[in-house]
């Protein structure tokens, strides 16, 4: 309820600020740039572009960049710029980057933060500044319970992904003993909690640390448990190293993990033979099968690279902000109001983007897919049924 009240009050305040004719070329006097500076507005991308989880962030940044580049081609006399905030996926680095973004009055919207841990510390700063965000990938459910008026999520959260992963383990893999491990991050620990709600009491449970490289103690416990499935909550570097050491010790089971591991770099870390058969979930459809010309355009723009996880989501949610700017919503407050009332279908994902009062994506639009490592590639497996 407090969230709804905040949004209503925000809408009243925004309404008082709305002025006519604030199109891109106009002498707008907006809070974002002032005067003709409205034509140099910025959209920020906030996520890991270097570090151990950069593979996930780069595809999302590329989706955002592609959308902005296409917009600028069609609006060459009034361009929008991309500002990159490389968090390295580290919550400790996020506050300073968020302060940097809110301090740049040209920045009117943020795509991200990409990860849940960095969202927990950066989003309060964005909220205080009234800087609207749409995350393409931060899936911790509690992010939408903080009364942040600026928060929007372009995919389902882990109350959809976690149970779906649990159903895959029970109904497809038909595992009788499941061991669960998480990396103690806001994302990894929360995802494991959601999986356990479906699989019940696991055969064993353990925790590791981000940047840990020696997993011998965990390997021994997993083998001793007799588990034939390991669910891992965390990111691809630790997942790859853990599986490599586990299979090296003779374990014959299957690893299942969430979207934090759903990246080709997982195979590089684990090794192709070790990674073969691993199941990776995502509250997203395969980006490689996105609609329209997205895949062709992405490959043409980025050296023939296949679009990775959430690249198509980032593209579509960036276009929401660009639509708002094109419509004259050139201040942070106006763009926030535009996003709150948005109802339109993404050209790449086919998802109808409209947001609940707490910023969550309309539940009717939420899907979860399972992907599988096959012959050295992450390929689509099945869309996991909702029940």
**pLDDT tens column, 126-138:** 999 999 999 999 9
Q: What angle do CA 239, 242, 246 make, to 5 degrees?
A: 135
Q: How far apart are alpha carbons 285 and 288 in whole angstroms?
A: 9
Contact (CB, 8 A) for 346 and 230? no
What is the pLDDT averaged over residues 88-99? 98
In this model, does residue 167 exceed pLDDT 50? yes
- Alpha-carbon span 383 to 376, nearest angstrom: 21
Predicted structure pTM score? 0.90
249 or 27, greater pLDDT: 249
The distance from CA 258 to its chain's CA centroid, rounded to whole angstroms, is 12
Q: Within 13 A of 291's CA, how many CA atoms are on the CB side?
A: 10
Q: pLDDT tens digits, residue range 47-92? A: 999 999 999 999 999 999 999 999 999 999 999 999 999 999 999 9
* Pairing of β 254-257 and β 229-233: parallel
pLDDT digits (tens, 9 = 90+) for 283-299: 999 999 999 999 999 99
| Length of the chain as a residue count | 387
In this predicted model, what pLDDT tens digit does every residue of 2-32 receive, in sequence order? 344 444 444 433 333 333 333 333 333 344 4
**Greatest alpha-carbon span in the chain:** 70
| pLDDT-derived band at 221, boundaries 50, 70, 90 | very high
Are 81 and 15 spatial neighbours (Cβ–Cβ below 8 Å)? no
Q: What is the pLDDT, as a whole number, of residue 46?
A: 98
Backbone angles phi, psi at 373, to 5 degrees: -80, 115
β-pairing, 369-374 with 279-282?
A: antiparallel
Percent of the chain with pLDDT over 90: 90
Query: For residue 375, is pLDDT > 90?
Result: yes
Residue 34: what pLDDT? 40
Residue 387: the pLDDT is 87
- How far, in Å, are 12, 14, 113, 131 from residue 337 at the CA level? 10, 7, 20, 11
| Tens-place pLDDT, residues 181-214 | 999 999 999 999 999 999 999 999 999 999 999 9
């Amino acid at each position: 309820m407090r969230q709804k009240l905040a949004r209503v009050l925000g809408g009243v305040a925004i309404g008082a600020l709305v002025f006519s004719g604030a199109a891109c070329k106009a002498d707008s006097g907006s809070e974002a740039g002032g005067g003709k500076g409205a034509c140099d507005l910025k959209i920020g991308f906030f996520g890991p572009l270097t570090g151990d989880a950069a593979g996930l962030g780069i595809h999302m940044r590329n989706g955002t960049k592609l959308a902005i580049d296409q917009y600028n081609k069609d609006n060459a006399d009034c361009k929008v710029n991309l500002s990159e905030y490389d968090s390295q996926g580290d919550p400790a680095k996020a506050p300073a980057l968020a302060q940097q973004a809110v301090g740049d009055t040209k920045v009117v919207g943020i795509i991200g933060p990409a990860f849940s841990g960095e969202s927990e510390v950066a989003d309060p700063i964005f909220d205080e500044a009234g800087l609207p965000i749409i995350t393409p990938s931060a899936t911790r459910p509690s992010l939408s319970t903080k009364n942040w008026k600026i928060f929007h999520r372009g995919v389902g959260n882990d109350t959809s992904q976690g149970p779906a992963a649990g159903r895959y383990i029970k109904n497809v893999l038909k595992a009788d003993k499941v061991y669960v491990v998480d990396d103690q991050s806001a994302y990894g620990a929360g995802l494991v909690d959601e999986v356990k709600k479906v699989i019940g009491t696991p055969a064993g449970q353990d925790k590791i640390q981000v940047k840990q490289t020696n997993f011998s103690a965990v390997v021994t416990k997993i083998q001793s448990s007799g588990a034939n499935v390991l669910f891992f909550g965390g990111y691809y570097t630790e997942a790859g190293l853990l599986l490599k050491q586990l299979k090296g010790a003779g374990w014959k089971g299957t690893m299942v993990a969430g979207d934090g591991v759903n990246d080709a770099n997982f195979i590089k870390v684990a090794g192709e033979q070790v990674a073969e058969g691993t199941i990776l979930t995502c509250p997203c459809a395969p980006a490689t099968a996105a609609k329209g010309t997205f895949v062709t355009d992405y490959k043409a723009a980025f050296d023939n690279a296949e679009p990775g996880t959430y690249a198509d989501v980032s593209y579509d949610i960036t276009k929401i902000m660009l639509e708002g700017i094109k419509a004259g919503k050139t201040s942070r407050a106006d763009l926030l109001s535009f996003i709150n009332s948005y109802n339109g279908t993404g050209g790449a994902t086919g998802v109808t983007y409209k947001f609940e009062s707490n910023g969550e994506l309309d539940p009717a639009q939420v899907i979860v897919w399972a992907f599988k490592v096959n012959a050295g590639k992450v390929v689509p497996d099945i869309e996991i049924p909702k029940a």
